[in-house]
């Protein structure tokens, strides 16, 4: 894993995706870009992680997942409770507009383009 240019620990990204292969691909994208990463399989696990850690800088979540919340509901909850956390939502089935997602969030359609995602993460986290 390559380090970012600054001496501080790299920003931590929480990847929430229920499909293992898609989660592994997202994790690879994030790590290849030099970020630290934590993964969760659903919104409930993601919220537990967020409650136990204060170093999550960005949430990258699928929208359609099993469990008590969708990725969109998770994004709204995270935006409400931890407004400093940046959010990227992704879906292969749905198309969302800016009005559908929390303020300062981004939406991507699957299949994901790793260059676009990494560029967006860098811009959102101020590493561009």
Residue 67 lies in a domain: yes
Please check whether residue 81 lies inside any domain of the structure.
yes
Report the pLDDT value the prediction gives residue 128, as an integer from 0 to 100. Answer: 61
pLDDT digits (tens, 9 = 90+) for 10-36: 899 999 999 999 999 999 999 989 999
Q: Where are the beta strands (DSSP E) in the chain?
A: 12-16, 36-40, 56-62, 86-91, 105-109
In whole angstroms, how far apart are CA 13 and each of 9, 17, 93, 99? 12, 13, 23, 24
CATH number, residue 63: 3.40.50.2300
Q: What is the count of structural domains for the chain?
A: 1
What domain range is 48 assigned to?
Answer: 32-124
Q: Is 27 part of a structural domain of the chain?
A: no
105 lies in some domain: yes
**Is 38 within the bounds of a domain?**
yes
Establish if 4 belongs to a structural domain.
no
Note the pLDDT tens digit of each residue in 62-111: 999 999 999 999 999 999 999 999 999 999 998 888 899 998 899 999 88
Residue 117, in any domain of the structure: yes
In a domain, residue 63? The reply is: yes
């Amino acid at each position: 894993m390559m380090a970012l240019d600054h001496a501080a620990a790299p920003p931590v990204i929480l990847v929430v995706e229920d499909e293992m292969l898609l989660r592994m691909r997202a994790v690879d994208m994030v790590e290849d870009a030099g970020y630290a990463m934590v993964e969760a399989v659903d919104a409930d696990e993601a919220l537990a992680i967020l409650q136990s850690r204060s170093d999550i800088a960005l949430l990258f979540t699928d929208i359609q997942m099993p469990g008590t919340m969708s990725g969109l509901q998770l994004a709204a909850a995270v935006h409400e409770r931890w407004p400093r956390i940046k959010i990227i939502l992704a879906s292969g089935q749905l198309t969302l507009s800016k009005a559908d997602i929390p303020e300062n969030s981004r939406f991507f359609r699957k299949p994901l383009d790793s260059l676009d995602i990494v560029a967006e993460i860098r811009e959102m986290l101020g590493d561009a």
